[in-house]
Amino acid sequence: MDKREILSRLKSSERLPYEFLEECLSSQDRDIKHEAWNYVLRSIRLMDKEFIYSLLSFKDTGTRYRAWNEVANFVKEGILSLDEVIKFKKYFKEMLKDSNLTVRSLVWYVTLKPLIEMGVIEKDEIYKYSNYLYELLSSQFSEVANEVKQEFGINCNI
């Protein structure tokens, strides 16, 4: 199947097999990955809980980040309960030290605060990951890392 056909399927309203979605969500092609995520958001209420759980622990951390970034909405809309989300928080914590610096910086900067506010993660749990935030200070994400450091009162001195 070529890219045009894949994108067409993802934009359709047909029910797509989870295997196909997983492949698309793991794609190196940004357009395919983006459309696959849009499909997930459009169809989330029709999806099995097991598939939704798999998004929270997805191997591709770009996709996993997107799932965690939607957790507040998933809970608010009754798609997942807070208890269900908490069971998967170790997969979120893994992203605090992700080798993909874009994912790591977004997790610290965008997703962490709402999860703390919801009670998914306790603020005290993040301090042991401060060295990974420290690494961001010497990257292209230094401004973001500085903001996070100040917001959460994290001392990044090694």
Tell me the CB-side half-sphere exposure of residue 37, using CA atoms within 13 A.
20
> For residue 57, which of 13, 89, 98 has the smallest C-alpha distance?
89
Q: Is the pLDDT score of 133 beyond 70?
A: yes
* pLDDT digit string, tens, across residues 12-32: 988 999 999 999 999 999 999
Distance CA 12, CA 7 (A): 9
Does some domain include residue 157?
yes
92 contacts 121 by C-beta, under 8 angstroms: yes
Residues 6+ apart with CB under 8 A from 88: 53, 56, 57
Does some domain include residue 19?
no
Q: What percent of the chain has pLDDT over 90?
A: 94
Does some domain include residue 51?
no
Does some domain include residue 72?
no
Single pTM value for the model: 0.93
How many domains, in total, are found in the chain? 1
Does some domain include residue 74?
no
95 contacts 68 by C-beta, under 8 angstroms: yes
* pLDDT digit string, tens, across residues 35-83: 999 999 999 999 999 999 999 999 999 999 999 999 999 999 999 999 9
Distance CA 87, CA 74 (A): 15
Question: Among 5-14, 36-45, 101-110, 147-156, which is the least confidently predicted range?
Answer: 147-156
Query: Tokens in use for 132?
Result: 């990974």
CB atoms inside a 10 Å sphere around CB 46: 8
Question: Which range marks the domain in which residue 94 is found?
Answer: 81-158
Does some domain include residue 90?
yes
Does some domain include residue 141?
yes
Does some domain include residue 86?
yes
